[in-house]
Structure 1
């Protein structure tokens, strides 16, 4: 296990980790708001109707519905 850091070292570690994240976030927001660059999006496929097929449901959800039908 790592040793506990003194408070000053913990503050420095926090600064070292957060400043690059804040810089990257600020740059992306600058590109969007000032330069007009569009937001990046993930390509999406057309969703299939879930009412006709339960293929998208996890296995555990099928098990629960079988138990209910056996008890009736």
Structure 2
């Protein structure tokens, strides 16, 4: 069996965070769940990588993952 680095190329550093509070997301931008209208919960933020060859393209911005646990719906914002 091959190691992960052999299967997927160079190991990459993931920039971002899980849980906690979003660093640069204003409360008025957090969406309401389209099913139940409750404000969605912050789950993670993602950042572009250090080099354009391996980083995801977020247009130079941060990406935010949000979820409504009761409805099992998610949202992704950039900004």
Please classify the TM superposition score into its range, dividing by the shorter chain length: under 0.3
* Structure number with higher strand proportion: 2
* TM superposition score normalised by structure 2: 0.20
Task: Report 1 or 2 for greater relative contact order, CA contacts < 8 Å, sequence distance ≥ 6.
Answer: 2
Larger radius of gyration: 1
* TM superposition score normalised by structure 1: 0.21
